[in-house]
Amino acid sequence: MNRVVASSIISIFIIALLAVGYYYFSVYKEKFSNPEEALPPSAALIIKGNLNSIYTELDKQGIWNQLDTLSLIGDIRKEFEILLQNTADQSEIADLLESSQTLVSLQVTGAEKADLLFLMPSPKDISITTMRKTLLGEQPDECRQRSFSGKEIYEINFSQGWQFTFSVSNGVFIGSFTSGLVEDAIRQQETGKAFWGNKNLVNLFSSVSASAQSVVAINYPQLSSLFSVSLNSDFSDKLHELSVWAGWSVHALTFEKKQITAKGFILSNDSMQMISGFNNCHGGVSEIVKVLSQNTIAYQTYSFSDECNWIGENRKKMSENENVRQAEKNIAKTEKDAGYPIREKFKKIIDTEVALALSGNPSGNLDNNTLAFIKVKSKKDALQIMSQIDKAIKKNGKPAAVEQFKNHEIRLMDVDGLLPALFGNSFSVIRKNYFTIQNNFLVFANKPSLLRKYIEDVEGGLLVTQLPETMQAELRKAEHSMYALLIRPEQCTPVWQSVSNEVTRKMLSRSNYLERFSSFYYSVSNVQNSEGNCTFIITTQNPEPKQKVTKLWTSFSDTSLLNGPFMFSRDKEIFILYQDDAMILHCLDQNGNNRWTLQLDSSVVGKICQGISDNDGKMQFDFATTSQLYIVSENGTIATKYPQKLPAATTIGLTSSSASDIYFVPCNNQIIYAYNYGGRPAKDWSNIKWSGNKIESTFSPDGKYIVFIDDQNLMYYTMDGQSRLVKPVNELNLSNYHWTNDSVPEFACLDADGSKLRIKNDGTFAKINGMPALQWLGQTTEAGNIFNYMLTENRISKISADNNIIASADLKGQVGKSSVLSVENNTYCALSIDNNLNLFDSHLKQVSGFPVPAMGYATMSMGSKIYLLVLEGTDKLTLYEL
């Protein structure tokens, strides 16, 4: 009997143990699934690690600075910040956020939206009830509850008005400021498949996580879709290569002073991804840095040891791209017409590297700022084959012209589509195929002018290899990579603006956020089997303070300024002219010291102009008083036969140009007189009649044409006295006009309805499509691209040649005199508004230190500087330097 009882007790005890064991097994199983299993497939970027620490490190690097105008990144920062602030005094949640196993994922949630999803492993002793009480504190009524797939989901409102949704599912705390992401995570978790069953990604993520405190994983197709919404439609297709580049890369994330480094691996197991092509193309050694100009602001390079294999693999991956398909059609037709295998012949000269580089300070059309570099096995053989190609496509035609520029030759290979057909969509920016040779590289561009600038840099010693070693280091990182991309974000703001859609462009124009980044570097190397090494490095910096205006000097006159000021320069010397009310003409130097003075018979009327130089090469200043003409040398000497009496009085003044040996004086008898510098009537010119009370005149920059505008007509003449056009002014808006910067300048103005007009030198004119404006302030050429600066009501706008608004700024007040100035690749707009001088940079941001009070002003560019001479009062002149 005792034995039976004992046996029963033991059986009950065993059953109890099994029950307890099963219970704890069930709990254990439920509470310890991996956070990775709850990641929805729309993840574009995943970070694993101590979120509090990562947020702090990003803050130290300045990543969060000035994000109020960058909506996506600003929202990400805000979501981080709100969650950390509201859980700082709640140890249970804070501990989860600081766990090395915590994940935060950037999920693509719409066409123009991405949101954060927080996934944290929840310890077994923290229940959903504990979480709810911890987050709600003493305000449980503010919680809304619902069920989904057997899990309880809670929504709470933080004090800042942000709604946070969370749940605990299978031992994972799931939270987001976007409600639907919590359901997506629970739904994905139920599949039990981490990373959606991608075993290679699971293994790679686990391997990197095992030895790193922080991990970042990138989903390239999702990242491409996220970026594409920020671009205009013309450039969104450029991201196609990013979407097919690779599936994922996983990196160990580290933070150093002013540097964020992510070293890891990229998956290459999908044969349809471009990166898989590197498996069969063992990387060579990049030499692109040896031929890059110091003006390079971005480049990407491909290095390989077997060019035919690499080209073949690359072509397979790009076969679906429309640009590549069109390029292949074009080149196939050219080959058929020429009866010559252009692609096969060209492949024979390729060595181990091809690259693209963005040069200068580009904006607008990137095609005009991009250089392609093709490393060749032999310069001699390359030129020979290029000549053979040219001969084949020209057949019996003349060979392509060769331009000798300095010590280089510039040629044209007139083959449309060759580079994109061989190297992919990135190279579709090169279409014209002008080229030169530097070291062992063929250098291609769409315009010979870009090659000339590159050659000037090369022969002027402005190569990267001439930089100090510390400055070279950043650009030399690509030397041992199969693929490398380097961007200098702070110098690429015009690029981002030109390719962005209107919303993104406005955000960028209101922020100098990109100035915080010195460089972004990304590389791939040693691709073997199913993965390769992949690194990206973001280097940050403290932005340089905005360039301020330096006040060089202030000069006070004993008498009042009557006319001027006017400003001129020669050989880095500045000449400042003004007339006081004692009829004395003063000339100052750049330090405000008097060079000379000259007593005149009466007040200068109109402008003081810079005419042609005298026989000794000195500048001459041309002007008129009411009754006399003056030609004065830069040293204050009056030219022989001057002053010369006018045939009639003038209240208009004189017009001359340093590019013309003829000057003009409209007199009050309604006749315009033309003179040569000997003081005699100009040959081939008869007296021209003008009408009304006022007349303006302007020379073309090359001095070959002049336009007169009186109260009735616009009159366009050549310098040999031939009339090309007479047009009534009531058909035009001549509140502002200018000459274009083309090789053959054209007169530009607006018509009566505000549309742009260009008058050609044959007298014909054409209306240019674009937005109507009140004033056309000027036109500039910046890094090979043409931009128009327009005034529309109370707004100034920078407009590209294809009529896209690149930048704009609101104005308050009445706009008076305006000037558009270009210095190197920088442009400035000076506007007089309500007796204040405003100065805007090429992004139409007000230059620091402006506006300044101004009754009048003169501007001048010299070298890389802008000088502004401001009349601040009737007896006060101030010179500013930018």
SS3 (DSSP) at 575: strand
Cα separation, 663 vs 49, in Å, equals 75
- Mean pLDDT within 513-525: 83
Domain identity same for 403 and 470: yes
| Domain annotation covers residue 382 | yes
Number of compact structural domains in the chain: 4
Cα separation, 654 vs 669, in Å, equals 15
Q: Is residue 873 a contact partner of residue 394, using CB atoms and an 8 Å limit?
A: no
Domain identity same for 42 and 111: yes
Cα separation, 70 vs 508, in Å, equals 7
| Domain annotation covers residue 800 | no
Domain identity same for 583 and 508: no
Look at residues 197, 225, 240 and tell me which one is the last residue of a structural domain.
Answer: 197
Q: Which of 71-80, 388-397, 468-477, 547-556 has the lowest mean pLDDT?
A: 468-477
- Mean pLDDT within 677-687: 86
Average pLDDT value over all residues in the chain: 82
Structure confidence at residue 669 (pLDDT)? 94
Residue 56, H or E segment: helix 51-60
Residue 556, H or E segment: strand 550-556
Q: Extract the tokens encoding 533.
A: 């090494």
Please give the torsion angle defined by the CA atoms of residues 7, 13, 15 and 20, in that order, rounded to the nearest 10 degrees: -170
Domain identity same for 458 and 530: yes
SS3 (DSSP) at 601: coil
pLDDT tier for residue 56 given thresholds of 50, 70 and 90: confident
Domain range enclosing 168 = 32-197
- Spatial neighbors of 595 by CB under 8 A, at least 6 apart, are 575, 587, 588, 589, 635, 636
Phi, then psi, of 429 in degrees rounded to 5: -70, -20
Domain identity same for 456 and 562: no
Cα separation, 427 vs 327, in Å, equals 10
pLDDT tier for residue 262 given thresholds of 50, 70 and 90: very high
**Strand 671-676's sheet: what is its strand order?**
662-666, 671-676, 688-689
pLDDT tier for residue 440 given thresholds of 50, 70 and 90: very high
pLDDT digits (tens, 9 = 90+) for 698-710: 999 888 999 999 9
pLDDT tier for residue 364 given thresholds of 50, 70 and 90: very low
Query: Is pLDDT above 90 for 833?
Result: no
- Spatial neighbors of 230 by CB under 8 A, at least 6 apart, are 72, 500, 501, 503, 504
Q: Is residue 499 a contact partner of residue 455, using CB atoms and an 8 Å limit?
A: no
Angle at 667 between CA 663 and CA 669, to 5 degrees: 145
- Spatial neighbors of 378 by CB under 8 A, at least 6 apart, are 349
- Spatial neighbors of 138 by CB under 8 A, at least 6 apart, are none
Counting Cβ atoms within 10 Å, is residue 11 exposed (0-12), middle (13-18) or buried (19+)?
exposed
Q: Extract the tokens encoding 581.
A: 């009310």
Domain identity same for 156 and 44: yes
Q: Extract the tokens encoding 486.
A: 């380097």
Residue 168, H or E segment: strand 163-169
- Mean pLDDT within 776-800: 77
Q: Extract the tokens encoding 583.
A: 């009829």
SS3 (DSSP) at 385: helix
Q: Of the ranges 279-293, 566-580, 842-856, which is most confident?
A: 566-580
Residue 313, H or E segment: helix 307-317
For 358, 688, 873, the CA distances from 355, given in Å and listed in that order, are: 10, 59, 57
| Domain annotation covers residue 714 | no
Look at residues 182, 197, 212 and tell me which one is the last residue of a structural domain.
Answer: 197
pLDDT digits (tens, 9 = 90+) for 365-391: 577 789 999 999 999 999 999 999 999
Look at residues 540, 563, 586 and tell me which one is the last residue of a structural domain.
Answer: 540
Domain identity same for 841 and 825: yes
Q: Is residue 429 a contact partner of residue 439, using CB atoms and an 8 Å limit?
A: no
Share of the chain above pLDDT 90, in %: 30
Q: Extract the tokens encoding 232.
A: 């205009």
DSSP 447-511: SHHHHHHHHHHHHTT-BGGGS-HHHHHHHTGGGG-SEEEEE-GGG-HHHHHHHB-HHHHHHHHT-
| Domain annotation covers residue 647 | no
Query: Is pLDDT above 60 for 69?
Result: no
Structure confidence at residue 632 (pLDDT)? 93
Query: Is pLDDT above 90 for 515?
Result: no
pLDDT digits (tens, 9 = 90+) for 141-173: 567 889 999 998 988 887 667 888 989 888 898
Query: Is pLDDT above 80 for 642?
Result: yes
Domain identity same for 44 and 179: yes
Domain identity same for 161 and 290: no
User: Residue 302's closest CA among 422, 435, 433?
Assistant: 422
Cα separation, 231 vs 366, in Å, equals 14
Domain identity same for 593 and 495: no
Q: Extract the tokens encoding 573.
A: 């010397």
Structure confidence at residue 72 (pLDDT)? 67
pLDDT tier for residue 186 given thresholds of 50, 70 and 90: very high
Phi, then psi, of 35 in degrees rounded to 5: -60, -30
Phi, then psi, of 757 in degrees rounded to 5: -125, 145
Structure confidence at residue 149 (pLDDT)? 92
Asked, as a colleague might, if the bond just before 647 is cis with ω within 30 of 0, I would say no
Domain identity same for 328 and 298: yes
- Mean pLDDT within 194-202: 93
Cα separation, 635 vs 619, in Å, equals 9
Q: Is residue 183 a contact partner of residue 148, using CB atoms and an 8 Å limit?
A: yes
For 416, 752, 839, 882, the CA distances from 764, given in Å and listed in that order, are: 33, 17, 35, 40
Q: What is the 3-state secondary structure (H, E, C) of 90-134?
A: CHHHHHHHCCCCCEEEEEEEECCEEEEEEEEECCCCCCHHHHHHH
For 386, 412, 825, the CA distances from 455, given in Å and listed in that order, are: 20, 16, 17
Share of the chain above pLDDT 70, in %: 83
Torsion 132-137-139-142 (CA) sign? negative
Cα separation, 838 vs 818, in Å, equals 9
Structure confidence at residue 466 (pLDDT)? 72
Q: Which of 33-37, 568-572, 734-738 has the lowest mean pLDDT?
A: 734-738
Structure confidence at residue 824 (pLDDT)? 65
Rg (CA), the chain: 35
Q: Of the ranges 608-612, 788-792, 836-840, which is most confident?
A: 608-612
SS3 (DSSP) at 69: coil
Domain identity same for 438 and 549: no
